[in-house]
Amino acid sequence: MLTHNKYPTEHYRALDAAHHLHPFSDTRSLNAGGVRVIVKGEGVWLTDSDGNRILDGMSGLWCVNIGHGRREIAEAVQQQMAEISYYNTFFKTTHPPAVELAALIAEVTPEGFNRVFFCGSGSEANDTILRMARTYWATLGKPSKQVIIARRNAYHGSTVAGASLGGMAPMHAQGGLPIPGIRHIGQPYWFDHGGDLSPAEFGLKAARELEAAIDEIGEDKVAAFIAEPIQGAGGVIIPPDTYWPEVARICRERDILFVSDEVICGFGRLGSWFGAEHFGMKPDLMPVAKGLSSGYLPIGGVLVSDKVAGVIEDTGEFNHGFTYSAHPVCAAAAIANLKVLREEKLVERVRDDIGPYLRERWMKLADHPLVGEARMTGLMGALELVPAKPSHRRFAGDGSIGLRCREHSFRNGLVMRHVHDTMVIAPPFVLSHEEADELIRLATLTLDMTHADLKRDGLMG
Ligand SMILES: *Cc1c(COP(=O)(O)O)cnc(C)c1O
In tens, the pLDDT along 20-44 reads: 999 999 999 999 988 999 999 999 9
The number of the ligand 1 atom at minimal distance from the alpha carbon of 289 is 7
* Crossing angle of the two packed helices 354-363 and 433-456, in degrees rounded to 10: 20
Q: What is the pLDDT of residue 4?
A: 57
d(CA 272, CA 277): 7
Q: In percent, how much of the chain has pLDDT > 70?
A: 99
Domain membership of residue 128 (yes or no) is: yes
The number of the ligand 1 atom at minimal distance from the alpha carbon of 124 is 9
Q: What is the pLDDT of residue 396?
A: 87
Cut 0.85: pTM above it: yes
In tens, the pLDDT along 448-460 reads: 999 999 999 999 9
Instruction: For residues 337 and 374, state if they share a domain.
Output: no
Domain membership of residue 39 (yes or no) is: no
Q: How many Å lie between the centroid of ligand 1 and the Cα of residue 448?
A: 32
The number of the ligand 1 atom at minimal distance from the alpha carbon of 290 is 7
Instruction: For residues 160 and 91, state if they share a domain.
Output: yes
The number of the ligand 1 atom at minimal distance from the alpha carbon of 231 is 13
Cβ < 6 Å from ligand 1: which residues?
A: 62, 121-123, 126, 155-157, 228, 232-233, 261, 263-264, 289-290, 300
| Closest residue by CA, ligand 1 atom 10 | 156
Q: What is the mean pLDDT of the chain?
A: 96
Q: What is the pLDDT of residue 128?
A: 98
Non-local CB neighbours of 201 within 8 Å, separated by 6+ positions: 242
Instruction: For residues 88 and 190, state if they share a domain.
Output: yes
Q: How many Å lie between the centroid of ligand 1 and the Cα of residue 61?
A: 9
Instruction: For residues 181 and 300, state if they share a domain.
Output: yes
In tens, the pLDDT along 351-368 reads: 999 999 999 999 999 999
Instruction: For residues 311 and 367, state if they share a domain.
Output: no
**Mutation test of ligand 1: which of 156, 237, 269, 330 has the most ligand atoms closer than 8 Å to its C-beta?**
156
97-113 as b/e: b if 16+ CB within 10 A: bbeebbebbeebbbeeb
Instruction: For residues 218 and 275, state if they share a domain.
Output: yes
Q: What pairing do the DSSP bridges indicate for beta strands 147-151 and 113-119?
A: unpaired
**343, 377, 402 - which closes a domain:** 343
What value does the mean pLDDT take over residues 55-76? 98
Domain membership of residue 13 (yes or no) is: no
Instruction: For residues 269 and 381, state if they share a domain.
Output: no
Domain membership of residue 38 (yes or no) is: no
Q: How many Å lie between the centroid of ligand 1 and the Cα of residue 167?
A: 13
Q: How many Å lie between the centroid of ligand 1 and the Cα of residue 281?
A: 20
Q: Is the pLDDT of residue 390 over 90?
A: no
Domain span at 122: 72-343
What value does the mean pLDDT take over residues 244-258? 96
Q: How many Å lie between the centroid of ligand 1 and the Cα of residue 22?
A: 17
Q: What is the pLDDT of residue 398?
A: 81
**314, 343, 372 - which closes a domain:** 343
Q: How confident is the model at residue 2 (pLDDT cuts 50, 70, 90)?
A: very low
Instruction: For residues 267 and 321, state if they share a domain.
Output: yes
The number of the ligand 1 atom at minimal distance from the alpha carbon of 158 is 9
Q: What is the pLDDT of residue 29?
A: 93
Bond before 245 cis per omega within 30 degrees: no
In tens, the pLDDT along 86-108 reads: 999 999 999 999 999 999 999 99
| Closest residue by CA, ligand 1 atom 5 | 122
Domain membership of residue 160 (yes or no) is: yes
**Mutation test of ligand 1: which of 155, 158, 164, 288 has the most ligand atoms closer than 8 Å to its C-beta?**
155
Q: How many Å lie between the centroid of ligand 1 and the Cα of residue 390?
A: 34
Domain membership of residue 378 (yes or no) is: yes
What value does the mean pLDDT take over residues 423-428? 98
The number of the ligand 1 atom at minimal distance from the alpha carbon of 157 is 4
Q: Is the pLDDT of residue 5 over 80?
A: no
Q: Report helix, strand or coil for 372.
A: strand
Instruction: For residues 287 and 179, state if they share a domain.
Output: yes
Q: In percent, how much of the chain has pLDDT > 90?
A: 96
What value does the mean pLDDT take over residues 232-252? 97
d(CA 293, CA 303): 15
Q: How confident is the model at residue 1 (pLDDT cuts 50, 70, 90)?
A: very low
The number of the ligand 1 atom at minimal distance from the alpha carbon of 120 is 7
Contact 415, 409 (CB under 8 A): yes
Instruction: For residues 324 and 366, state if they share a domain.
Output: no
Domain membership of residue 407 (yes or no) is: yes
What value does the mean pLDDT take over residues 319-333? 97
Length, in residues, of the chain: 461
In tens, the pLDDT along 117-171 reads: 999 999 999 999 999 999 999 999 999 999 999 999 999 999 999 999 999 999 9
Q: How many Å lie between the centroid of ligand 1 and the Cα of residue 264?
A: 7
Instruction: For residues 175 and 80, state if they share a domain.
Output: yes
Closest CA to 145 of 179, 114, 181, 169: 181
Contact 122, 263 (CB under 8 A): yes
Instruction: For residues 332 and 360, state if they share a domain.
Output: no
Q: How many Å lie between the centroid of ligand 1 and the Cα of residue 157?
A: 5
Q: For the domain that residue 422 is a member of, what is the CATH number?
A: 3.90.1150.10
Q: What pairing do the DSSP bridges indicate for beta strands 147-151 and 182-185?
A: parallel
Q: How many Å lie between the centroid of ligand 1 and the Cα of residue 263?
A: 6
Q: How many Å lie between the centroid of ligand 1 and the Cα of residue 50?
A: 30
**343, 378, 393 - which closes a domain:** 343
- The count of structural domains within the chain is 2
Domain membership of residue 66 (yes or no) is: no
Q: For the domain that residue 126 is a member of, what is the CATH number?
A: 3.40.640.10
Contact 199, 231 (CB under 8 A): no
